[in-house]
Structure 1
């Protein structure tokens, strides 16, 4: 099972309010393969079920980011929770 603390640490070092990481980039950060479930939007989306504790979501939240899987499933958009401008991505 991947160590999502590595993702948290990576996200904590970021200075951009919003950016995208491909699934391959996330796997490189984790030095491990993501589970098949990671290709479902609900697996990443920190705002969808905030009461449901999942390690990957908790890592994003702890680093101050909201995660949303891209519609095509190729990556994840990370947006700082404190970002002033919020754009709706389709």
Structure 2
């Protein structure tokens, strides 16, 4: 007997969701917040970002390479995809647990 369709996929919290239901990536709330910004540059603290995404940032977020910007459409770094899709590049402010986001003109898709 086949499994019900809702057993086919898991949400981020481990609960089952129906097939075809929208998947919300961990950093989508950050992407959505950045898309709404009218300024070309802004800073957010780690704590502010954590409140927006509902998760703690990983320890590796204190490293500049975690915030590295890429235009590679096959990147598996979901955090980079989030600010890139919003039209921003990210720059860690060393020793401050803060990130500066700068709007960029690029060929990245922004639905």
Q: Which bracket does the TM-score occupy, shorter chain normalised?
A: 0.7 to 0.9
Aligned residues: 80
1:12 and 2:35 aligned: yes
Higher relative contact order (Cα pairs below 8 Å, separated by 6+ residues): 1
Q: 1:62 aligns with which of 63, 76, 85?
A: 85
- TM-aligned CA deviation for residue 80 of structure 1: 0.2
| Structure 1: runs of 5+ lacking an equivalent | 83-90
Larger proportion of helix: 1
User: Moved runs in structure 1, 4+ residues, more than 4 A?
Assistant: none
RMSD, matched Cα: 1.8
Higher alpha-carbon Rg = 2
TM-score normalised over the length of structure 2: 0.66
What displacement does 1:8 show? Answer: 0.5
